[in-house]
Amino acid sequence: MSFDAFDAWWWPYLFILAAGWLATDLWRFLGVMLGGRISEESDALVLIRSIATALVAAVIAKLIVFPGGALAATPLALRLAAAGIGFVAYLLARKRVIVGILVAEAVLLVGMLQFY
């Protein structure tokens, strides 16, 4: 099967729906089914948690170093400063994620106003 397998108007929508479901929900369902049986201290779960954390860190680093859209017009130093200041605010606010995000956004907005 491929995206161009049928010439019906509904086929691309069905293909995207099926491919999207298979790629995400199937694995989520299996995770829920198997996750209750795995100890939180097991080596497998620690490995999975470490990989997930590394993937999130890699995406954030990619967005900071190689951004797209309006963020690409800002200097790298501003993006790094916003991330660093947001992280410090997150720690000072007793690890409240929303505080870190809002402070980083404010630093970015003020910095963008300075450069435009």
For 45-100, write each residue's pLDDT tens digit. Answer: 889 889 999 999 999 999 999 999 889 999 999 999 999 999 999 999 999 999 99
The verdict on 50 and 88 lying in the same domain is no
Domain co-membership, 25 together with 53: no
- Boundaries of domain holding 12: 1-37
Q: Is the pLDDT of residue 7 over 90?
A: no
CB 61 within 8 A of CB 79: no
Asked if pLDDT for residue 109 goes beyond 70, the answer is: yes
Which residues 6+ apart lie within 8 Å of 105 measured at CB?
82, 86
Measured CA angle at 103 (ends 54, 111), to 5 deg: 100
Together in a domain, 30 and 43: no
Please tell me the pTM assigned to this model: 0.66
Q: Count how many domains the chain has.
A: 3
Pair 62, 82 in one domain: no
Considering the domain architecture, whether residues 90 and 74 belong to the same structural domain is answered as yes
User: Residue 86: which residues within 8 A CB-CB, separation 6 or more?
Assistant: 100, 101, 103, 104, 105, 107
